[in-house]
Amino acid sequence: MKIAVIAPGMMGAAVAQRLHACRATVAVTLEGRGAETAARAAGLMQLPSEAALAGWADVVLSILPPGQALALAQRLAPVLVPRGKSVIFADCNAVSPATARDVAAALPGIGFVDIGIIGGPPRGDDAGPRLYASGDDAPQLQDLTTRGIDYRIIPGGIGAASALKMGYAGITKGITALGSAMALGATEAGAADALRAELAASQPEVLRYLQRSVPDMFGKAYRWVAEMEEISAFLGDIPAAPIYQGAARLYERIATDPDSVAKLRAFYRKD
């Protein structure tokens, strides 16, 4: 099985390195990428372009910021669609079920697996994240379990794994957004120390969780913007959907505003 991983960002590169370490035949491309990507991809087979990867691979793992998921499928369709069932495209992105189905529709006739990744990038010899998979073609990637990947098939067609991812991320990243918004509001109102003391006294578990999750979010906030928008789309007409549009705007601000980061870092410091 020849596996292409697009693209070698933090998660994609770590998954590719885990596959490579477990003797899978895996390749990436550095087309359009910078020095940090090159460092993450050190030791991996490299092909000159996304199209070259799509023509070479038996399996394409798409691991991207969610706002780029559909565009990648559309770019690769001229190479992948003529290959038919000889190739499997696995969308591993944090997208709504509707977007997952749009990605599948852009690649008619090929094998397609909907995957939701839960957990951080694999490191060292840890268990790594869980890759939850759904769709008729999901069993064809069961071999990934022999290549260092925690691959779990769940019931349902295309969209089921994405729904699981949306639900999980909506809870965990939603809590981080709420904790960030309230800390910023209290800081700007002059009540930061009082709120922090009250959390430490009455909600110590909540404070400890936010002391981990908020600082860890700073370098990822730009990627979470589109993910929050996908979660809002996932909720549809459920009244809470606009909350996640607000979370998207909050993460957008944090990604570009050092002052917000400084305030949050101060609020969630560990004494």
Question: Which of the four pLDDT bands, split at 50, 70 and 90, describes residue 4?
Answer: very high
Average pLDDT, the chain: 96
Q: Write down the pTM of the prediction.
A: 0.94
Q: Do residues 54 and 140 both lie within one domain?
A: yes
Q: Do residues 151 and 175 both lie within one domain?
A: no
- pLDDT per residue as tens digits for the range 102-148: 999 999 999 999 999 999 999 988 999 999 999 999 999 999 999 99
- Give the pLDDT of residue 158: 98
The CATH number that applies at residue 44 is 3.40.50.720
* Sheet architecture: strand order including 150-153: 45-47, 25-29, 2-6, 59-62, 88-91, 111-118, 130-134, 150-153
Q: Do residues 34 and 78 both lie within one domain?
A: yes
Q: Is the pLDDT of residue 271 over 90?
A: no
Q: Is the pLDDT of residue 267 over 90?
A: yes
Instruction: Write out the residue range of the structural domain in which residue 147 sits.
Output: 2-157
Q: Do residues 132 and 46 both lie within one domain?
A: yes
Q: Do residues 136 and 219 both lie within one domain?
A: no
Domain end, chosen from 157, 190, 213, is at: 157
Q: Do residues 39 and 143 both lie within one domain?
A: yes
Q: Do residues 65 and 153 both lie within one domain?
A: yes
Domain end, chosen from 101, 122, 157, is at: 157
Q: Do residues 123 and 183 both lie within one domain?
A: no
Q: Peptide bond before 39: cis, by omega within 30 degrees of 0?
A: no
Domain count, the chain: 2
> What sign for the dihedral angle of Cα 224, 229, 232, 236?
negative
Q: Which helix (H) or strand (E) holds 112?
A: strand 111-118
Q: Are strands 111-118 and 130-134 parallel, antiparallel or unpaired?
A: antiparallel
- Give the pLDDT of residue 249: 98
How many percent of the chain have pLDDT more than 90? 94
Q: Do residues 143 and 22 both lie within one domain?
A: yes
